[in-house]
Amino acid sequence: MRPLVSNDAGVALWSNCSPITVSIHLSELLNDTPAAKKVTLDAVSQLATLTGLDIRVETDSIQTVKVNDLDSLPPAGSREIQLIWVTEGSESLEDHHLGETELHFSEAQLELRSATVILSDEIINQAADRQHSTGDSAMLSVLHELGHSVGLGHSVDPHSVMAPSLADEADVTLADRSALAYAGTRQC
């Protein structure tokens, strides 16, 4: 698994000095807002456990937005992971892309500063269509994008949660666990 941001000096990671806040923005046009909210909270909890980072979702940071337009939202703040759910077919994502992550970082310090994660409700729809437990399949898709938000790139293991396309058998592999644990190791 390759890191998303690195150079000869190392890998860009979040420092483990202070909490990372997660804000969740849900388009009011989503097909299943409760499912999107649940899988997001489950994936954030998993990410915090697997990385050891102090990642917090404040209840007042979960908002329903009236538009499917990202321009109306403020950019992610310092030490914030901003999760934005949009409807399938939104112009914010390429056709049939389930998610996309943008990292903001200090090149000089190789430190992640904030991240914006865009998620399509196609994640929820596909999980239901596959007749999996919607929570498990969808949660893994959200965890995949959250893995990018802490600096992980794609894995060549087709069973990895960080594989470019999640297979039906995808899960958090031992290599994923190691990479996620490493993502939480940067000291102050």
CATH 3.10.450 is held by the domain 11-183: no
- pLDDT tens for each residue of 144-181: 999 999 999 999 999 999 999 888 788 999 999 999 99
> Considering the entire predicted model, what is its pTM?
0.91
Domain boundaries, the chain: 11-183
Q: Note the pLDDT of residue 43.
A: 96
* Two structure tokens written together for 138: 């969808």
Q: What is the mean pLDDT of the chain?
A: 88
Q: How confident is the model at residue 131 (pLDDT cuts 50, 70, 90)?
A: low
Give Cβ neighbours of residue 93 (< 8 Å, ≥ 6 apart): 86, 99, 100, 118, 120
Write down the pLDDT at residue 134.
43
In degrees, to the nearest 5, what angle opens at C-alpha 47 toward C-alphas 7 and 89?
A: 85
Listed residue (148, 74, 64) closest to 105, CA to CA: 148
Instruction: Let me know: does 147 contact 181? Beta carbons within 8 Å.
Output: no
